[in-house]
Amino acid sequence: MLNIEIQWFIVLLVNFLVLVYLLNVILFKPLLRIFKEREENVKGSLDAAREMDRKKEEGLERMNKELSEARQKAKDVFEKLREDALNKQKALLSDAEGQASTMLQRARLELKAEAEKARVSLKADAEKFSDEIVRKLVKA
């Protein structure tokens, strides 16, 4: 049969409890503290990464919005400049057509005046030549 001696049992029990206490103080608590710190660090890093990702997304959205607004402003400015240029071109063409019309009218009037002068001059010359021809024919 099994012979259990109480004094050795108590010594072993005390030895076991002292070892458990020492291991708890020296090994288990520091390991649990290290694991907890590591978990907190990982959790903090993950939270920081999520926050950075959120800020990145907000920054991208803001940048895309500003880029879209800038493109729209550029498009509006381009359209306004284009419209102004077309209006200026129409005005210049209209002025040029008016000037050309005025010059053409003036040239026609000058040409008519020159033609009338030439007609009067030729009529006078024709009368002079006809008188001379008649005189030469009468003399002959």
pLDDT (tens digit, 0 to 9) for every residue of the chain, 140 residues total?
567 788 988 999 999 999 999 999 999 999 999 999 999 999 999 999 999 999 999 999 999 999 999 999 999 999 999 999 999 999 999 999 999 999 999 999 999 999 999 898 888 888 888 888 888 888 86
The CA–CA distances, whole Å, from 135 to 122, 129, 138, 139 equal 19, 10, 5, 6
Distance CA 106, CA 84 (A): 32
Spatial separation of the C-alpha atoms in residues 31 and 24, rounded to whole Å: 9
CA distances (Å), 46 to each of 38, 41, 55, 70, 124, in order? Answer: 12, 8, 14, 35, 114
Query: pTM of the full predicted structure?
Result: 0.47
The label of the residue with tokens 């649990």 reads: 32
* Cα 36 to Cα 48: distance, rounded to the nearest angstrom: 18
